[in-house]
Structures are given as structure tokens and as C-alpha cells.
Structure 1
Amino acid sequence: MSGAAILRHLPGPAPAHAAVGHANMLQLVHLRWLAVAGQLVTILLTRFGFGIPLPLWPMLGVLAGLVVLNAVSLLLMRHPRATTNGELLVALLLDVAALSAQLYLSGGATNPFVSLFLLQVVLGAVLLDRWASWALVGATSLAFALLTAIHRPLVLPPTIDRTLFALHVQGMWVCFALVAVLLVMFLNRIDGNLRAQDRRMAEIRRQAAEEDHIVRIGMLASGAAHELGTPLSSIAVILGDWRRIEAIARDPDLVRDVAEMQAEVLRCKAIVTGILLSSGDARGEESAATTVRALFDRMIADWRDTRDFTAVEYVDRFGGDVSIVSDVVLQQAVFNLLDNAAEASPDMIRIRLDRAGDTLVLAVRDEGGGFAPEQLEAFGKPYNSSKPGLGRGLGLFLAGNVARKLGGGLDARNLPRGGAEVTLHLPLAAIRLEGADDAG
């Protein structure tokens, strides 16, 4: 499989943070089921085991509300989507409200289970952003303060009045054990979610490194293909001339040898044509100190000579020169732009080097048929070309990839009088030679 084909089949990065948020919300739902079961057992045991009168229907109504909240949460989570910090905060605040309602109905701050507020605070510190966790601290503190003054007092049977303190201590122990168990369970699951996120991020980094490597190899292959095109064409022309030479035409062996050489040249040209282009590192190993004007003057001249293309109008409006670092990858990106324009407009292309503040601007105009609307809409994507053939439409994608890695961009537009213009924007800071001043 070729480099570009591998790129095309690489899976996209998974939304790691969104997946962790979704998993954390799911953990809250599971924890709420445990809370519903625990509260139900506690309410029934208190009412029928200890004989303490409780407002059963209001308290069971709060539990029913938690069940409905869980059902709605699970229904919404059936569709993959990012779970935001705000949604987690709302879920925890609803849990705080439900706990406050239960405590209000069962003695307020005198209820030993009032310490369950700490569970919500710890969960908020683990799951929420800093501001949201402090908001949850404020909400739980306010709820606790209100429950000290506003609550429905418990009416205890006379037999329990004598052992009230012991019962309260036992309730505190049960609350402590419950909080400890739930925290260990929940934090272990959260740790598992974070480890899964780390594994996904490691996989994304690995895929990105492989993609960068493939793109870099593809860019070098692109340069080799461009450089081999001219000599192969020259050899093909020379071999065609040889076949017309009378001395060779009379010798069957020589005719056969020339035909075999022509076949091999055609095979080499087919291999070069079949190379799927790619781009890669913004800074290649063959970097050298130069200036903007010297670099682009040399690149335009080299491209003219290697392509034997003389219908070029080059205008330099850059102004004061700047010392920069150049390398073969940047050159191949510019060559891709010029090759694309020359294919569309073999009669004339116009190149303008300009500067907009701290940005280098290279505009390449052709006199061809312009871009189709669907090509402009998908501009910068691979295989976006109206020209048939393997690997077509990658030149602009590669140039745009190099520009993006340097912090710049590539855009295109059709001209009112026909033809198209492709503009490369590069921030000078990304290619400026460190420690050097403007060349003047």
C-alpha cells in the first residue's frame, strides 16, 4: 500500500476527553443507583426496624425522582456525544438537592448521614473544573447550614430516647463506612477511565507520528518524482531520435535494444507517475541559512530550468529582505504549487512574492479553467482534482500541509477574468533564522 493510501486509511483521532467525560457521567449514574438502593434500605430499616416515624411518601418520592433522573441520563447517553463540565456539575447539584431533601425530612443536620455531603465534594474535586468544584463546595456548605436551622425534626420513640447517643454513633459509623466504600469504588473506576484516556492519547500520538513519517517520506518521493520527470522525458526523446538514425534502423539488434530501452523508460515514467505524493516535517534535515529573496529567486529559477518552462512572470514585492532557514520540504511545497499552475496553464503563469506584516505571501496565478465549485469547497483535501490519474490532486494538499505545519495556510480563488490564484501564507517567525536581524 502506498504512503498516501495508508494515510487515507488511518483512523481519525478518538475524542479522548469527550469519552472520559461520558464514562464519568456513567459512573455517576451507577453511583446514583447505589444511593437509591442504600437510601431505600435505610428508610425502611429506620421506619420498620427501629420504629422511628418517617414521612415515607415524600422520601420515596425523592427516590423516585432520582430513578427518573437516571433513566433520562441513560436515555441521553445512548447517543455518543461529549459530556461537558457543566453537565457533570448539574448532575452533582441534583444529587446534592436530593440528599438535602432527604435530610430535611429526617432530622436535618442532626441526621448522622449529613456527612454524605463530603462524598459529593470529593466527587466534584475529582470530576469538575476548579471553578465548578468550588461552586459545589458552596452549594453543599449552604445546604448544610440551612439544614441546621430548617428541617423536619424526628419524633423518636421513648425506648430510643435512652439510647439516642449510641444510635447516633452507630449511624455515623455506617455513614463513614458507606462513604469510604463508595469513594474507593468510584475513584478506582475514575482511575480506570483516566488510564484508558492515557492509552487512547498514546495511540493518537503513535498514529500522528506514523502519519508524519509517512507524509515526510511522501514529500521526498514527490521531490524525486519531479526531479526524475525531466531527465526521463529527455531520454525518451533521445531514444526516439536514435531509432530514426539510418545506421541503427538497418541493424535489427540495435533496433531491438533501443526498443527495450524505450520500454524501460516508459516503465520508469509510469512508476514516477504512480508515486502518491505526501508531505511532512516543516523543517527538513537539509536546512540552510538564506534570505527570503535569495530563496525564492533560486527556487523560481531552479523550477524554470528543471521544467524548461519559460512562460513565467515573477514579481518581487517583498520589500526588506529577511534572514530565514530554508530546506527541501519548503522547496517541494512551492514546486507543487508551480507544477499545478503550469499543468492548468502551460501558456503563462504569474508569481508574486509579497509581504503582509509579519507574513510571507506567495501568490501563483494561472490562465486555466479555474477550480470547479466542489473543488474550492474541498480545497486542501487530498485527491481533490478534476484531472484523471493516480495521485492527482495531492500537490495542493501537500503544499497546504507544509503551510499548516509552519503555522500558515493555503487558499484559492477563481479570478473574474478566468484562471485561478493559489496563495501561500507563511508566518516569518516560523522560518526566520534565530538570532538574525532583517537582511535589509
Structure 2
Amino acid sequence: MTRSLMVRPTLATIDAAGHANMVQLVQLRWLAVAGQLATILLTQAYFQIRLPMVAMLGVLSGLVLLNAASLALLRSIGPITNGALFGALLLDVAALTAQLYLSGGATNPFVSLFLLQVVLGSVLLDRWSSWMLVAATSIAFALLTAFYRPITLPPTIDRSLFELHVQGMWVCFALVAVLLVLFVSRINANLRLQDIRLAAVQRQAVEEEHIVRIGMLASGAAHELGTPLSSLAVILGDWRHVDAIAHDPDLVRDVEVMQAEIQRCKAIVTSILMSSGDPRGEEAAATTVRHLFTRIVADWSKARDFKPVRYDDRFGVDVPIASDVVLQQAVFNLLDNAAEVSPGGFDVMLSREDDMLVLTVRDQGPGFAPEQLDNLGKPYNSRKGELGRGLGLYLVGNVARKLGGTLEARNAATGAEVTIRLPLAAIRLGSKVDVR
């Protein structure tokens, strides 16, 4: 079972509702064009009722052009605004009014199609524009009661005009009912999708706020730890010159171990200050993909004194990138997690998929619990009950999201497998992306 945390930027979802609503209008307009064309041809050929064919087909041509303009708007970069939807619906009302004027006005049973426009407006538009559409359809209906071209029945029709009107009303009712069911069902699906996207954005905002709090706490702690670590380094340096210690090899080794651990702590503090934008941090250095990840794995293995790391470089042609300390720390978190559950060793594979960098860490541990995979990307998601555990993958996922990448986790045949995919464009040398 695989779980993927899609952590691509969500800015593209802002205009999703307007875009989807315009798509619905385009689809309904195609149905309207087909239905009107079929009705006109049936009336002319079967009932032999003479209609102003040139004018009515001209209105249909206008609807086709309107759909072409709507499709062009959908392909544009700009957002689909309420004004654009309102204008499109007003043009639909104008086209329907023209067709009804040419075919009996308010006596035409299809005059009830105005209600469909009102329903569309109430669902798609803001409140003020919905009421404007109600006013427009009401005025159009009122004008059609006085101004229209009457329909003259041929002598071959033995039914009365009223009987034909009732039959037309039934056809209109069925048509409106079918269109409303189709439209409302699709709109509900769009609204559910929009709710899902909104919930994802809200969850991401909460997680980012949590990350900010962690970063502020870590930055503050780093500043506070700088002075005592420096003091301890000076004291240990002095101890090495004390006769009682200098002549005892065991004590000398202990002092050296303590000095190495202090240097490691100072390096961690420096990394935190760099990632938080502290002026004492250094700018990201120029490097390459292969050099960076080979160094990260080597540095991690040396710092943790963890030898059984099997590193497989399948990246291919090297690419110049910027060495960012936050990305390095994210990889460190992945390796720390693997070493914790797989002390006998684990595999690290660097590869490339098109324009994506792929880093996979496969351990020999017990794997992920089902609830961990279901909650991938959430903080404190750990099978251990200890307070504060389960932040490693959470931090890795946020780094990947900032870079426009993905984090995936699954249980392999033996152990677990975690994969991060990052677009090379986001970490390429000269990129403006900031992962802090």
C-alpha cells in the first residue's frame, strides 16, 4: 500500500470554481444549440410550420460564436470572474429572447426556458448579479407578451393551437427537468471538489503555522545555545593542557570525544541559524546533484558513525544546483528515520525521472502502520507514543512542498520505502525558490 503526499503549490486552485462553472455553461450551451436546431428543423419539416429560418439559424450561429469565445476565455491565463459568467448568461438570455420573438413570443411553450437561466444564475453568480438576471428575464418575458412574430398553423394540422401548446409545454418541462438534473449534479460535484481543495489549503495553512512556530523556537534556542557551547569548547580546550588529563590517554580520548560532540552541536546550531535566515548564516553554495547528495550521505554516515549505508547513484548526467542547508537537513531526517528502525543498514538510491530528482530510502525495519500511511504529512505521526516524535517526515514533506515536489511512502516486501521527488528547476543553480 502506497500513500502519496501531493505537496505541489496550491495557487492554481484559486480560480478552479470559476473555470469549472464556465465549463458547465459551455456544455449546456452546446446542448441548447443542438436542441434548438432539432426543434426548428422538426417544426419546419414535420409540422410544416413556416419559421424565419435565416434569422433563427443566425441566432444559433451567434451562440456557437459565444461558445468559441468562452473556450478562448477558458484557455486564457486570467481568472474567470463573476462578471464574465454574468455577461455570458445575459447573452444566453438575449439569444433565447430573440428565438422566442421569432417563434410566437410568450405564446411559445418554450418560454419557460427563462426559468432555467434564472436557476443557473442563482447557482453560479453572486447575489447582486443573480437578481439582475431575474430582472432581465422578467423584462424579456414581459416584452414578449406584446412584441413577437405570431405562428401561423398550416391547414394540414388538424389539432388546435391550444393542444399543440400543451404538448409543447410537456416537452419543455421534460427538457428543463433533464437539464437541471444534469447541471445541478455537476455543480454539486464541483462544489464537493472545491470543498476538498479548500480543506486541503486550510490544513496546509495550519501545518505551515505549526512549522513557523517550530522554526521560531528552534531559531531562538540556537541563539541561546551558541554562548554555552562556545564556553564549553573553551573549557575543554583548557582541560587538554591540565597535567592530570594530558598524561592520561583515557581522559584525553574522552575530552576529544566531547570536543567532537560540541563541534557537532555547533554545526547543528549554525544550520538552524542559516535555515532561519540569520545574518550569520552563509548563502547557499554552488554544487551539483551528484556531489551534493554523495556528500550528504557521507557526512551523515560520518557524523552518526553509521557504516552500513548502501548508496546507489543512478542520476545520470550531473546538473548544477544550489546547496541549500534546509534540503540537506530534510535528507538527514530521512536517513535518521531509516537508521532508527534499521540498525543493520539501509539503501539510498538517487535517480532521475525526466526533469525530476528522485531520492529513495529503503530500510529493513517493521514498515509503516496503516494509520501512519493514512496520515502521511501530518505532524506527530509516529507509532511510538513518545511526546514530540513523528516530526521527521512532516518536516521533509513541507520542504518538498515548498520546492513543488512530492513525498511518498509505502511498505515494501521488507521494511519501508520513502521517496521524495523534486523538480530540478526548483533547486537548479540560480533558482529563486526559497524553501525556508
- Tell whether the structures are fold-level matches, with TM greater than 0.5: yes
CA distance in 1, matches of 2:109, 2:273: 71
Cα distance change, pair 89–138 in 1 and its aligned pair in 2 (3 A): same
Counterpart contact for 2:118–2:134, Cα < 8 Å: yes
| Cα deviations by residue, 1:130-161 (Å, 9 ceiling, x for unpaired) | 11011111111111111111111112112337
1:264 maps to 2:257: no
The partner residue of 1:18 within 15, 20, 34 is 15
The partner residue of 2:113 within 100, 116, 131 is 116
CA distance in 1, matches of 2:120, 2:248: 91
CA distance in 2, matches of 1:121, 1:56: 27
What's the secondary structure of 2:48's corresponding residue?
coil
Q: In structure 1, list runs of 5 or more residues that go unmatched.
A: 1-8, 280-335, 345-387, 393-440
CA distance in 2, matches of 1:213, 1:278: 16
CA distance in 1, matches of 2:240, 2:172: 98
Cα distance change, pair 79–28 in 1 and its aligned pair in 2 (3 A): same
Q: Relative contact order, CA 8 A, sep 6+: which one is greater?
A: 2
Cα distance change, pair 135–17 in 1 and its aligned pair in 2 (3 A): farther
Cα distance change, pair 11–215 in 1 and its aligned pair in 2 (3 A): farther
Cα distance change, pair 203–33 in 1 and its aligned pair in 2 (3 A): same
The partner residue of 1:68 within 62, 65, 70 is 65
CA distance in 2, matches of 1:140, 1:389: 61
1:40 maps to 2:28: no
CA distance in 1, matches of 2:179, 2:325: 60
1:172 maps to 2:169: yes
1:244 maps to 2:220: no
Counterpart contact for 1:214–1:278, Cα < 8 Å: no
Question: 1:64 Cα shift?
Answer: 1.0
Question: 1:230 Cα shift?
Answer: 1.2
Cα distance change, pair 106–206 in 1 and its aligned pair in 2 (3 A): same
Cα distance change, pair 27–276 in 1 and its aligned pair in 2 (3 A): farther
Counterpart contact for 2:86–2:129, Cα < 8 Å: yes
| Cα deviations by residue, 1:148-203 (Å, 9 ceiling, x for unpaired) | 11111112112337421111100011011111111111011111111110000111
CA distance in 1, matches of 2:272, 2:49: 83
The partner residue of 2:25 within 23, 28, 33 is 28
CA distance in 2, matches of 1:15, 1:86: 20
What does 1:176-255 correspond to in 2, within 5 Å? 176-255=173-252
Counterpart contact for 1:221–1:277, Cα < 8 Å: no
One-letter identity of the residue aligned with 2:26: V
| Cα deviations by residue, 1:25-56 (Å, 9 ceiling, x for unpaired) | 11000000000000001000000100100111
- What is residue 433 of structure 1 aligned with on the other side? none
Counterpart contact for 1:276–1:390, Cα < 8 Å: no
Cα distance change, pair 343–103 in 1 and its aligned pair in 2 (3 A): closer
Question: 1:86 Cα shift?
Answer: 0.7
- Alignment length, in residue pairs? 282
CA distance in 2, matches of 1:147, 1:216: 65
Cα distance change, pair 36–391 in 1 and its aligned pair in 2 (3 A): closer
One-letter identity of the residue aligned with 1:255: V
Cα distance change, pair 277–79 in 1 and its aligned pair in 2 (3 A): same
CA distance in 2, matches of 1:17, 1:151: 44
The partner residue of 2:99 within 99, 102, 107 is 102
CA distance in 2, matches of 1:207, 1:34: 40
Counterpart contact for 2:222–2:273, Cα < 8 Å: no
- What is residue 3 of structure 1 aligned with on the other side? none
Q: Give every structure 1 segment of 4 or more consecutive aligned residues whose post-TM-superposition deviation is greater than 6 Å.
A: 276-279
The partner residue of 2:51 within 31, 54, 58 is 54
What's the secondary structure of 1:274's corresponding residue?
helix
What's the secondary structure of 1:160's corresponding residue?
coil
One-letter identity of the residue aligned with 1:53: R
- What is residue 402 of structure 1 aligned with on the other side? none
Counterpart contact for 1:22–1:81, Cα < 8 Å: no
- What is residue 306 of structure 1 aligned with on the other side? none
CA distance in 2, matches of 1:389, 1:55: 72
Counterpart contact for 1:27–1:186, Cα < 8 Å: yes
RMSD: 2.5
Who wins on radius of gyration, i.e. which is larger? 1
Cα distance change, pair 12–239 in 1 and its aligned pair in 2 (3 A): same
Counterpart contact for 1:14–1:200, Cα < 8 Å: no
Counterpart contact for 2:273–2:281, Cα < 8 Å: no
CA distance in 2, matches of 1:67, 1:106: 20
Which TM-score applies when normalising by structure 1?
0.60
Cα distance change, pair 115–277 in 1 and its aligned pair in 2 (3 A): farther
Question: 1:256 Cα shift?
Answer: 2.7
